Structure 1
Amino acid sequence: MPMPVSRSSSLIEQPHTAALSPLFLAALALLIMLGSARALPAPTGSDLLLHGPAGAVPVPALRLATDIAVDVSGPTARAVVTQAFRNTTPDWMEGTYVYPLPEDAAVDGMTLVVGERVIVADIRERAAAKRAYAAAKAAGQSAALTEQERPNVFTNTVANIAPGETVLVQITYQQTIPVADATRALRLPLVVAPRYNPGSQAVESVATAPAADPVPDRARISPPVLDPSQALPVNPVTVTVRLEAGFALGAVRSATHAIHVTETGPQGRRITLAEGVVPADRDFELTWEPAPSRAPELGLFREEVAGRTYLLATVNPPEAEAAPRPARDVTFVIDNSGSMAGASMRQAKAGLLAGLARLTPRDRVNVIRFDHTWDALFPEAVPATPEALRKAEIFVADLEARGGTEMLAPLKAALADPHPEETARVRQVVFLTDGAVGDEERIFAAIHEGLGRSRLFMVGIGSAPNGHLMRHAAEIGRGSFTEIRDLGQVGERTRSLYAKLESPAVTDLTATVSAPDAEVTPRRLPDLYRGEPLVFAARLAHPDGTVTVSGRVGGKPWRRTLPLGEAVAGAGISKVWARSRIGETETARITGHLTAEAADATILGLALEHGLMTRLTSLVAVDATPRRPAGTPLVAADLPLNLPAGWDFATVFGEGPQRGTAEPRQRRAEASAPGPVAEAGIALPQTGAGFLPQLALGLLLALLGLGLQRLGGRLTRRAL
């Protein structure tokens, strides 16, 4: 059903959003042009081409530019992602773009802007949203559909983009800020890395009956990928972070990008990219620390929504007293598949060798490597004698990146415990990988089934690790997640990781709220390691009372009671609570604690109540006015992605003229083009765009920005 234009003023009223500033589009276009002229190699030939029906002349494909504006307020962040789709073709176009968001993002809004038309999306059940979008597409109406493929992978599809037109799709989300050793971190994923999607027959099984496809939606998470040796980077990005930490700030850094930091007060900073615009080929990471001796011990925030109180708590338990280090059995698992070629392999090797160096003869050690096959250095863990460690070092040094990423079998082998009776020894698995696989749910189920007394520590490697897989695997595995993005981080981050492995955990944690009917999430609080705070959210029927946190620190009881009246006002906490509950429910479904039907009912209810995107809900925006003339065909195109920085294209995709293209999407058969779209989707381009197309894009975006400014002025005056 066509959706009327509504809540138009919301696009104008949002504070601190770069996408809404009067000159945003003009500035973005200028940054794109200047950044490309400065940072990218000169073009050598034709533009990026879209191949249509067989025999048709190729035409320039859709272009995309992205602006990300983030407001950080204490423990939470509010982000606005604005994607500008530019149709450089003479045809009416439908564009599909697969893009990443943080795995814990509570996605709650989408707005479509076409000329002076501002259409605010509705949250609907996924099937209903798809039907509304398909009907609008067929009727020639402007429409956009945002769908979740994974908690960190989303798809935007935009229909009926007129020739020469630019449309905007704006996504909003809320997330929490993780803390480790007093350092806060904001990670903005910018590229979806190519995923290895195992077939029905995995390497660990020999089944006689046909097995179910472990990645039934493989086509939806496999967009085209550009070969960097044949094409310039695409999808330029600008980033602005407005940081209000809630405490006096010390160092503000980025290990992934050069940044420009402007002080806006003792607790505030404004951060932008030093280059202005960068290609979307690696994740952006920003970290900040409190000024010396100013680290907060407690953060308690509350929000009132629909007569209920939502609470977000961050509590730092006391450091455990120094204790003798327990004897440990440590199994290192290292990914040497093709996606790890180059810098990622060097980082993983360095991280593993740093762990070997900390072992003593009281410990036991084993090393497992995997690609599409796997093998272990020893049949089971052996004492970490100098001789055993030398064998392990040689084993690791000889590894080369190649082949696929069959993760399930080596994971099960690492978790298999040959001596479960040795409870005095600590059993740990350190798993080093980029996580570039599509069968995450099988991995989670295997961890739940085989964990036993082991603890699983995930180490994310490279410029764009799969945060959903890594973080959730560590949660189920009752361990922790560490990211290593370049060799310069190996020393610092492995020291922190291995210190956690050697330190007593804060265990048996519970959070109890005195108010009746309180709902705490996560319901089962995780073990904590040195430098890790306890973070949880709660929904309360009454705002009065206390919350009591208790556990064991270094084997001794510890308790702290906090009056709810001490909580300060916060924003977006209800969505953080709901997103956490949804994640818990998905885990219960995967691990068999809830039936699929019960889990889906809970997830759908939470999503519709709080207006959130999930596996079962989507955002759809439809303009009421048809625009594409009747009988005019609509051409569909998947927008290509960059290869993540540091990846080797030939190692990942192999050789050949069509390597790196995506599997065709099923919905291409439904497109209203006069003939079938070529199976390869977008052919790999020979070069990127030249200066003149970028100049045209810049001028058009500038005009569109001024149009939005005039629209905002009229809407503001009308509201007054």
Structure 2
Amino acid sequence: ISLCLCLCFASHIEKHNSSVGVENILSTWSFKSVGLGTKITRLKITDYHVHCTVTSRYALTTVESTIWNQFHLTKEAAFEVDLPASAFISNFTITSGGKVYVAQVKERAAARKFYDAAKKHGKITEKFRVVVSMPPAIHMSFSISYEELLTRRLGRYELALGLRPGQPVQNLSVDITIAEQSGISFMKVLPLRTSRLLSTEAEVPPSTQVQQNPYCAHIHYSPTLEQQRNLSPKGLNADFVIQYDVELKDLMGDIQVLDGYFVHYFAPRALPVVSKDVIFVIDISGSMIGNKIKQTKAAMSTILDELREGDYFNLITFSDKVHTWKKGRTVQATKQNIQEAKEFVRKISAEGWTNINAALLSAAQLVNPSSSSSASHSLSPRRVPMIIFLTDGEATIGVTAQDAILHNAQSALGSVSLFGLAFGDDADFPLLKRLALENRGIARMVFEDADAALQLKGFYDEVASPLLSDIQLSYLEDQAYDVTRVLFPNYFQGSELVVTGKIKSGVQEMQVSLTANDSKQKLKVESKARLAKSKGNETATFLDCKGSLGGIYSFVQRLWAYFTIKELLLAKINSTDSLAQQLLAEKATNLSLKYNFVTPVTSLVVVKPDTDKYPTSISSIPTSPVTTTTESVMSTVTQTFMDGDPHFFVKLPNLQQNLCFTVDGRANDVLRLLEDPEKGIIVEGHLILAPTKRGVEEHTRTFFDKITIKIAKGGISVTLMIDSVVVKGEGLHSLPTTQQGSVTYLDLKIVLDGHQSCWIDFGKGMLFLVVFHRYSHPSYYQMEHLGFYIADGEGLSSLTQGLLGMLHFLIFLVCFTVCWLGAEQAAG
């Protein structure tokens, strides 16, 4: 999923009785610049610097880039940064001509659809991109900061910083400081990562310098131009990756307190591994044919070899039918059983439909004692029951309704942990994510790359060694409050559980209790942690990193907010009560605004004063050079249209790019698209409700099913619908849209091409186009609708208003609204 910035305008629009009110319009629209794909003449990046500070796993990263327009014409400068999917942006600035424009975080009620649509595909990184118009000989600097908690997987934390300036840069550097109060047990810098494939190189990137003591590490990387070109003539296009782990000897973990907040890192080591009852459920429907099934079989062969003798397992394959390898039971992972299972896997082939519901219920009968008495004899109370479920598509046969599948799974699985793997972009990741969240597990995307088998194996490695189950960390109510999640279904070897909260004033010693199941018994441990009265500077001194931790002295408080926001948004996804969803969203929004986090419920906004000399435009893809001034952008619109959900597009002269915005109306709303009182023309669009898309049910989808054009001269009205065009004037003419035809009134000419278009030609620089969108084999969410285009608007007067017409006279207010690149197609 990628991030882009959107260009927003405000304009004077009058409210008409037959139109959506201006208040509603202004609260729900957003503009997106859409480039025409022409090549940009590359501007020179003079500086590119990445600064990252990690304090007790909490990372603050700032990326700074300075661009120089060395040409004699105005050009477009692009600033693009890869962001971790779990990160929150906390600052963005643009510096130009000695002035600094600082972003503000605002409530973002109308932009939720972009986030949902992009998240549906489960992207592991996001892309922040802004394109700005730069006059000649100008230097412009961009700076973005984002925050994230590093996750411990397989015994290490990984920090990956994207380095993709797009060209070799004279002054390029990466500076990282890692400070860990409990001590750093190991740290290594990996070779530059250019893909998800594991690198076989052993060397750290050239010019890397590392300084380290028991509690702190400094890493500096500053490649020369020659070193950058050796990697690629186009400059760096890779991730700078560091892996490390911390010392943690206490069973109860590490508790850190700062400024009235605490964080508890729980990651006990040296515990015996608990055996597991694991069911591998594999989708073998027709869509798995080819590389997917080959990679799945390769991964399963390796995974089966790594089962421990104390583990019990079974295999289920499913398409429209479900086939269980060993009927009614799990079997011990003996050498003979593993060999037989590998032979079973070798012979599977892909065909048929996808019956997710039946496969889940079959797995539940094998692994959940309460759902099948015949399976209970093979289960041990000290084995962790789990299902690893892999699919590459949506449910297409049997029970296909998401709510029914979720209900059936939760009823049947009981205390079983379900881990979902969505293989490829066509998989129903939202369903798998909810299945996992509601059944003690997690869901991941597996990307259709050459290393898909490694991705599958890597995920299994994370859950292959359970150490504890049914974990509860408890804190005394008179000591701690506003505590985040404290119940965890499993703790796996090499992972970490994190709890944050607030500490009451005056607490000197914090009591923590743990209850959990290990390999043999139920554990109950109580511990008291002495709380140090430290402030930010004292903590930095203790870590021997003084002078390197600026900006996140309050990291525990920000970490608490980071966790709390994520848990509120997760609870909102899992809730079915609309009032509860609203309250959870409001709490998440308030916290996001307080801590200046850009989240799914907030927007990043930069307001640029009208007095500024340089116009700003934003693009999601490369665009052609900008040669206009602010005045020329404001004066003329040559092509404007609306289409889709509905999407409105405006082609600006000389800018060689389009702007678009959306209006989320309601069924039967009538939108005033254009009104020119001098020409006596009014254009209105009628909205109809469309089915919501799976995974983004919160997004109301509307389309235009009727366009009405009223012309005062001659008292003419033209009503366009998907099946017919009705013209009323001196008489009544009805033309079917599937046939060619034309009607002429005075200077007005209406021409149908008999397929998908109708031209309305007024002459004198006014030409409209209506497109009829039909589908031969529509999906469940597709419906026939109309698109309206102002193909030529030169003849419209300066008094023109309406949603499209108003763009002739803009009050120039440039603001940046964060949206998710890639969501445009999903939303439309």
Does the TM-score normalized on the shorter chain lie above 0.5? yes
Corresponding residue to 2:88 among 98, 101, 106: 106
In the superposition, the TM-score normalised over structure 1's length comes to 0.57
Return the match for 1:312 from 263, 266, 270: 263
The one of 235, 254, 259 aligned to 2:190: 254
SS of alignment partner, residue 287 of structure 1:
strand
**3-state SS of paired residue (1:478):** coil
**Alignment partner, residue 241 of structure 1:** 176
Aligned partner of residue 611 in structure 1, secondary structure: coil
Unaligned runs of 5+ in 1: 4-48, 53-57, 131-144, 192-231, 642-662, 681-720
Question: 2:134 aligned to 158, 162, 171, which one?
Answer: 162
C-alpha distance in 2 between matches for 1:282 and 1:339: 31
Corresponding residue number in structure 1 for 2:256? 301
Instruction: State the alpha-carbon separation in 2 of the partners of residues 498 and 434 from structure 1.
Output: 21
Q: How far apart, CA to CA, are the structure 2 residues paired with 1:111 and 1:521?
A: 32
Residues 112-131 of structure 1 mapped to structure 2, 5 A cutoff: 112-126=94-108
Quick check: 2:283–2:392 contact (8 Å CA) kept in 1?
Answer: no
Residue correspondence of structure 1 range 14-93 to structure 2 within 5 A: 51=36, 58-60=38-40, 67-82=49-64
The answer to whether residue 495 in structure 2 is matched with residue 532 in structure 1 is yes
Question: Cα deviations across residues 141-187 of structure 1 (Å, max 9, x unaligned)?
Answer: xxxx9999659665646465135666443221222232346422224
> Which residue is equivalent to 2:243?
287
CA distance in 1, matches of 2:391, 2:167: 26
* Distance of aligned partners of 1:461 and 1:671 in 2 relative to their CA distance in 1, 3 Å threshold: same
Aligned with residue 599 of structure 2, among 599, 611, 614 = 614
Displacement of 1:566 in angstroms is 3.7
Alpha-carbon distance in structure 1 between the residues aligned to 2:133 and 2:557: 36
Look up the equivalent residue of 2:484 and give its one-letter code: T
Decide whether the 8 Å contact of 2:129 with 2:619 is kept in 1: no
Q: Distance in 1 between matches of 2:362 and 2:168?
A: 39
Equivalent residue for 2:524, pick from 546, 555, 558: 558
Kindly state the Cα deviation for residue 561 of structure 1 after the two structures are TM-superposed. 2.4
* Whole-Å separation in 1 of the counterparts to 2:65 and 2:325: 50
Give per-residue Cα distances to partners, 1:286-326, cap 9 Å, x unaligned.
211458x989973222232xxxx111111334654577x45
Matching residue within 442, 445, 453 for 2:415 = 453
Question: Which amino acid in the other structure matches residue 598 of structure 2?
Answer: M
- The CA deviation at 1:518 is 0.6
1:481-496 aligned at under 5 Å gives the runs none
Structure 1 position 174 matched with structure 2 position 147: yes
Q: CA RMSD in A?
A: 5.9
Counterpart position of 2:589:
604
CA contact (8 A) 1:112 1:119 kept: yes
**In structure 2, C-alpha distance between the alignment counterparts of 1:85 and 1:409, rounded to whole Å:** 54
Aligned ranges for residues 471-490 of structure 1 at < 5 Å? 477-479=439-441
How far apart, CA to CA, are the structure 1 residues paired with 2:446 and 2:242? 14
CA–CA separation in structure 1 for the residues paired with 2:455 and 2:480: 43
Q: How does 1:247-646 map to 2 (within 5 A)?
A: 247-254=183-190, 257=193, 259-260=204-205, 261-266=208-213, 267-270=216-219, 272=221, 285-289=241-245, 298-304=253-259, 309-317=260-268, 319-320=270-271, 325=275, 328-333=277-282, 349-357=297-305, 358=307, 363-368=312-317, 378=325, 383=330, 393=342, 416-417=364-365, 420-421=371-372, 422=375, 424=379, 426-431=384-389, 452-457=414-419, 477-479=439-441, 497=460, 500-501=463-464, 503-515=466-478, 518-542=481-505, 544=507, 545-554=509-518, 555-563=521-529, 565-566=531-532, 569=539, 571-592=554-575, 595-627=580-612, 637-639=619-621
CA distance in 1, matches of 2:173, 2:648: 31
More strand, by proportion: 2
Q: Which amino acid aligns with 1:520?
A: V
Q: Distance in 2 between matches of 1:187 and 1:460?
A: 23
List alignment gaps of at least 5 residues for structure 2.
1-6, 9-33, 194-202, 395-401, 540-552, 624-642, 661-828
Distance change (3 Å), C-alpha of 1:586 and 1:90: same
Q: 1:170 to 1:365 in 2, by over 3 A?
A: same
Q: Distance in 2 between matches of 1:158 and 1:488?
A: 31
Partner deviation per Cα, 1:257-278 (whole Å, 9 max, x = no partner): 3634533232314153876577
Q: Which residue is 1:657 aligned to?
A: none
Give 3-state SS (helix, strand or coil) of 2:599's partner. Answer: coil
| CA shift in 2, pair 1:539/1:317, >3 Å | same
CA distance in 2 between partners of 1:311 and 1:126 (Å): 30
Amino acid at match of 1:611: N
How many angstroms does 1:573 deviate by? 1.8
260-269 or 602-611: which moved more? Answer: 260-269
- Following TM superposition, by how much is the alpha carbon of 1:359 offset from its aligned partner in structure 2, in angstroms? 6.5
User: How many angstroms apart in 2 are the aligned matches of 1:295 and 1:487?
Assistant: 41
Give the secondary-structure state (helix, strand or coil) at the position aligned to 2:95.
strand
CA contact 2:105–2:604 (8 Å) conserved in 1: yes
C-alpha distance in 1 between matches for 2:656 and 2:468: 58
Shift of 1:79: 0.9
Deviation of 1:73 after TM superposition, in Å, equals 2.3
Q: Relative to 1, partners in 2 of residues 1:244 and 1:501: Cα closer, same or farther, differing over 3 Å? A: same
The percent of aligned pairs where both chains have the same amino acid is 15
Query: Alpha-carbon deviation of 1:367?
Result: 4.4
In the alignment, the residues of structure 1 paired with residue 66 and residue 422 of structure 2 have an alpha-carbon distance, to the nearest angstrom, of: 31
Alignment check: 8 A CA contact 1:361 1:383 kept: no
Give the direction of change, closer, same or farther, for the CA distance of 1:177–1:400 in structure 2 (3 Å limit). farther
* SS in structure 1 of the partner of residue 649 of structure 2: helix
**Largest Rg, 1 or 2:** 2
TM-superposed CA distance for 1:75, in Å, is: 2.5
CA–CA distance in structure 1, aligned partners of residues 125 and 191 of structure 2: 23
CA offsets per residue over residues 321-378 of structure 1, 9 Å max, x none? 577x45x242244799999997x987755442222222669834124478xx997675
Three-state SS of the structure 2 residue aligned to 1:589 is: helix
Aligned-partner Cα distance in 1 for 2:323–2:101: 56
Distance 1:59 1:321, change over 3 A: closer
Partner residue of 2:649?
Answer: 669
Q: Is the 8 A contact 1:177 1:185 kept in 2?
A: yes
Could you say what secondary structure the match of 1:623 adopts?
coil
Q: SS at the partner of 1:542?
A: coil
From the superposition, tell whether residues 601 and 383 of structure 1 become closer, same or farther in structure 2 (CA, over 3 Å): closer
Q: TM-score, normalised by structure 2?
A: 0.51
- Provide the C-alpha distance between the structure 2 equivalents of 1:303 and 1:553, rounded to a whole number of angstroms: 31
Structure 2 vs 1, CA of residues 154 and 473 (structure 1 numbering), >3 Å: closer, same or farther? farther
Following the alignment from structure 2 to structure 1, what is the Cα–Cα distance between the partners of residues 156 and 517?
A: 21
1:649 aligns to what?
none
| SS in structure 1 of the partner of residue 62 of structure 2 | strand
Deviation of residue 112 (structure 1)?
A: 1.6
Amino acid across the alignment from 2:188: V
- Distance, in Å, in 1 between the alignment partners of 2:222 and 2:355 is 36
2:252·2:266 contact (CA, 8 Å) conserved in 1? yes
